Chain A
């Protein structure tokens, strides 16, 4: 599904990702762990197409060259980024935003656009699975949401948009243990043999709930080690210092 070969990314003179290779197949869950500044969030941004980076190497998503595809096209093709810090958009009604987002993705994929009634029904259904109060639908997008509410809102969007590849950028940060479990359950119930996940995290704790097939250690812009779930436990004990 996703194939990265010798991916490099820099901002201005500063190179951040320095030759990264990664292949994610349908149905796989990959975790990327690494110290601060190792390039984890840059990887997420580059995959979703954020401006401001000079990118080289090969980035293929379902055999298409990602570098030729705009941000919104990537979303429509099935790449989803759950933000580490979801943006607050004042004055924009959450349900209105969800409606526009879902319908633009459905339309791009040749599906019928949903009317407001079936959409609200769908959103409410998904929201209740994540234990999100319905009232949030009439609030302004992420404005005044607690850290946990913002993260849950990201997972709600993921479940609504049904992406092929979900990139979760430190979704566990700022969550208490109950919220963490709800978010993890949300991911697990959405996981199937056709969709894949790239989970970016500092800590092992999220990986107690979402079992990755592979764990990669990212250090100084490169994957320096790949292993199975035991690697996370090892990192928890020894830290990242061995990889610097």
Chain B
């Protein structure tokens, strides 16, 4: 696979472009890509990728029925928003939103400029091949800060249009939340009919805040998505602890690899990563997490649940790292795959790396087929095989869904999953 750079001015991004050329795409020889050979996957789906440069200036409208703030992007490009708070304030002390349109605006570019090193030490961000690629081609994204409680959820609508065949989208986003309690729903609405590859870099800074974040892939698409998420959870002043609950509902994409590096950098911080997905039709989804506990008294929970059928592949690589300072850590990790046919597979690689002695860490992973006796039991109560299977599938995912506190969001997710269960098996 080649990248067509004929329309790109490579001068400015030479350093990253060369580094990308040198390293190439990651393949299974790299431990982090062991289950997802991106080189092979992209080579067999694309001859040539062309970086997307067209920018959309038409406005899309928000459409969820309940009252919410919104931010709208098309193909990664910010096009519309409403962050005007109900109390009338829209000054820079409550919210702030800017557009990312070139490398200069990239969330970590200024830090990279200061260092010659391959590592951006202050951020613990390693500039690997995917980030080099992202930096070389990035031309779109959004950056927003919230300094005040939001009285309504903020919905980020990410629309993708139909004309993305063989395009490479490189976007970067910065989400920064301080001293606030917020609920964010990120909705991917993908109309693309053909293959494209999206390489996203996202950074979250959570300071003295409580954040509920829901990522929902709203419909089926042929998109190939890689997202690197750097999440820093901090509380420099209060020591009260910041809280992040992050839910991933990725069903529907042809290919996803969602990579999360979470840094629990403030004492008493809390992070939860929950995922529920129904994978089918040769879909390939990987969730990779690295939960770094660097301060004492932090808690982290991870629960990954996959239903797999029709030659699909689900992967969870989850690492918990507890530094020697992080005493009284409580970390929990569970991944489960429910495999509905012989062609599908679920692979997991849980890892614990612990340098402190007073910690509670556990991990578990299971995968198996649907319990035929359970199906029989439900059928003897008058349910058809399809209904019985649906009950069991929903029950399996309910473990994650029931943890959604907000009923509007829960309804949205239930509909999303229902849509994905429909017409199956």
Contact = CB atoms under 8 A, between A and B. Distances in A.
B417 to A, nearest CB: 12
In order of increasing CB-CB distance, the 8 nearest A-B pairs are: A91-B395, A91-B398, A101-B381, A71-B379, A92-B395, A87-B377, A104-B382, A75-B382
Given A87-B373, A90-B396, A91-B398, A97 B380 contact: no
25 contacts: A49-B379, A71-B385, A72-B382, A72-B384, A72-B385, A75-B379, A76-B382, A83-B377, A83-B380, A86-B377, A87-B371, A87-B374, A89-B374, A89-B378, A89-B391, A91-B394, A91-B397, A91-B402, A92-B391, A92-B392, A92-B394, A97-B391, A104-B381, A157-B381, A161-B382
A51 B391 CA distance: 20
A140 interface: yes
B382 A81 contact: no
B403 to A, nearest CB: 12
A80 interface: yes
Interface of B: 371-374, 376-385, 387, 391-392, 394-399, 402
Interface in A60-75: 70-72, 74-75
A75 B382 CA distance: 5
A80 B379 CA distance: 11
Nearest to B398: A91
Given A89-B378, A92-B391, A97-B391, A104 B383 contact: yes
Interface in A156-213: 157, 161
Given A75-B381, A97-B391, A100-B383, A50 B398 contact: no
Interface in A95-152: 97, 100-102, 104-105, 108, 140-141
Contacts of A87: 371, 373-374, 377
Contacts of B397: 91
Contacts of B391: 89, 92, 97, 100
B383 A89 contact: no
A185 to B, nearest CB: 23
Contacts of B373: 87
A97 B379 CA distance: 11
A92 B391 CA distance: 7
B204 to A, nearest CB: 30
A48 interface: yes
A81 B387 CA distance: 19
B383 A101 contact: yes
Nearest to B381: A101
Most buried by A among B382, B383, B399: B382
A74 B398 CA distance: 30
A105 B387 CA distance: 13
Contacts of B387: 100, 104
A125 B402 CA distance: 28
